Copies of this chain bind each other. A is one copy, B any other.
Amino acid sequence: MIDFAEHAKLVSHKIVAESGLNAVIIMGASNIFYVTGSDAPAAAIVYEGGGVVALATRLEYLRASMEIRVGELYTYAKHNDFAEHERVLGGDLYEAVRALIPSPGDGKIGLIGVAANSRQLWEEKMGTKLVDVTSEFTKLRRAKDEAELNAIKQAIQLAEQAMRRAVDALEKGVTESDIAAEILGSIVRNGAQPAFHPIVAFGEHAAQPHAKPTLRSLQVGDLVKIDLGAKVEGYCSDVTRTFAFGKASEQQRKLFRAVARAQETALECISVGVKASDVHSKAYEVLKEEGVSKYFNHGLGHGVGIDVHEEPYLSMESTTTLARDDVLTVEPGVYLPGYGGIRIEDMVLITDKGPEVLTRFPKELSL
């Protein structure tokens, strides 16, 4: 079980107290989930003493009330025809939040998850200057604790089970859509949610990194790219495998080896304190040696947690360094228009001893 009270305490200690604030306003479904256990509320507030209050629309109030593990819950509205169970603050969301924050001098209230260009509106509505502490919060979300890691490991297990089901269903004539349905069925019947709509791409479709499943049917000689993930207790997994249907051609094996070597090289250089952009570059350099770097058209990986894509990003433009307890994907890929594409994606935990690969599904081109 995820310890959301511990998360709220971390926010209170590491952000509210350390930044000399009285309280922090948290926006964004995944950010709110991190401190309450529910993505249903529209806003949450964490106070200096560790108290938490969440605000949900009337539509989401009951789900929020059943899901939240921490703190108090209110709804808000401008009229007055409410059910018995609803705890209501008048007005709109801004007015409700304002009623819940102390009236301090400027610089005593923090704001998380609001884009810089919207902060001014929030400051007008709150009648005070707000301190953007989003980057401090992102650090907390990046460092996965044991319970979060367990949820992620379960999500990986369900993803691998779905991958196995998908592989078992591959046969001549089956459609990408059929395989996507197998994957969704496997994940959902286990009581989990898909972390995203699965990617199942045969043959030339595999050249699209984010292909949508279609009614294209599987033929001997096709590459098969499958990218899927599950969400368990609010935490995601994300795994990609690529297979050759039928005997792999020399070209397919050459490309697969290039991608596999890029992944291995990236994994070898991962450790605490390494620049995220350097990890991307290591994989890029391998693909350059292999003569296929021009077909590697995306970042090498991304953090995974409450969101399937979150900090840290392994990309050319990234300015962050890897930290202990980061969980992220390492997923080099090459994509040749008209021919197909190959991506291999594993999830990795950063430890003091280096990377621990969490994904166990075999990495074999041949089925």
Contacts and interface: CB of A to CB of B under 8 A. Distances in A.
A190 interface: yes
Contacts of A31: none
B66 A208 contact: yes
Interface in A197-237: 197, 207-215
Contacts of A40: 210
A58 B298 contact: yes
A79 B316 contact: yes
A118 interface: yes
A190 B57 CA distance: 35
Per assembly, the copies of the chain total 2
A185 B189 contact: no
Contacts of A250: none
A170 to B, nearest CB: 15
Given A58-B298, A294-B81, A188 B211 contact: no
B210 A189 contact: no
Contact of A211 (B63, B82, B115, B197): B63
A85 B337 contact: yes
A225 to B, nearest CB: 13
Contact of A175 (B118, B191, B193): B191
Of the listed residues A40, A59, A175, A207, the one surrounded by the most CB atoms of chain B closer than 10 A to its CB is: A59
A249 interface: no
B189 A178 contact: yes
Interface residues of A, number: 53
Of the listed residues A79, A175, A181, A197, the one surrounded by the most CB atoms of chain B closer than 10 A to its CB is: A181
A262 to B, nearest CB: 14
Contacts of A256: none
Contact of A213 (B82, B188, B214, B337): B188
A210 B60 CA distance: 7
B210 A63 contact: yes
A135 interface: no
A60 B209 CA distance: 7
Contacts of A181: 184-185, 188-189
A91 to B, nearest CB: 13
A154 interface: no
Contacts of A197: 193-194
Contacts of A86: 297
A74 interface: no
Interface of A: 40, 57-63, 66, 79, 81-83, 85-86, 115, 117-118, 120-121, 175, 177-178, 180-181, 184-185, 188-191, 193-194, 197, 207-215, 288, 293-295, 297-298, 316, 335-337
Given A115-B117, A181-B184, A188-B213, 5 more contacts: A62-B335, A79-B316, A117-B121, A177-B188, A177-B189
